Structure 1
Amino acid sequence: MTGEARSRRARRSGITGQRAEWLAILWLGLKGYRPLARRFGGKGGEIDLIVKRGRTIAFVEVKARGALDEALIAITPEKHRLVELRIRQWLAQNPWAMAHHLRADAVFLAPWRWPRHVPAVAELGL
Structure 2
Amino acid sequence: MRTDPSRRRQQTYLAGHRAERFALIWLALRGYRILARRYQVHGGEIDLVVRRGATVAFVEVKARPTRDEALQVLTEAKRRRIERAAAVWLSRNPWASASVLRGDAVVIASRRLPLHIEAAFELRIG
Q: TM-score scaled to structure 1, two decimals?
A: 0.93
Question: Which letter does structure 2 place at the counterpart of 1:52?
Answer: R
Look up the match of 1:108. Answer: 107
Task: Give 1 or 2: higher strand fraction.
Answer: 2
Q: Is the 1:44–1:79 contact (alpha carbons within 8 Å) kept by the matching residues of 2?
A: no
Look up the match of 2:86. Answer: 87
Task: Find the aligned partners of 2:17 and 2:31 in 1 and give their Cα distance.
Answer: 21
Task: Find the aligned partners of 2:22 and 2:114 in 1 and give their Cα distance.
Answer: 8
User: After superposition, what is the alpha-carbon deviation per residue over 1:61-108, rounded to whole angstroms, capped at 9, x for unaligned?
Assistant: 000001111011111111111110000010011111001111000000
Look up the match of 1:38. Answer: 37
Matches within 5 A, 1:1-126: 5-42=4-41, 45-126=44-125
User: After superposition, what is the alpha-carbon deviation per residue over 1:42-70, rounded to whole angstroms, capped at 9, x for unaligned?
Assistant: 58621000001111100000000011110
Task: Identify unmatched segments of 5+ residues in structure 2.
Answer: none
* Residues 37 and 54 of structure 1, relative CA distance in 2, 3 Å threshold: same
Q: Equivalent residue of 1:82, what SS?
A: helix
| Residues matched between the structures, number | 124
Using the aligned pairs only, state the percent identity: 51
Q: TM-score scaled to structure 2, two decimals?
A: 0.93
RMSD: 1.6
Task: Identify unmatched segments of 5+ residues in structure 1.
Answer: none
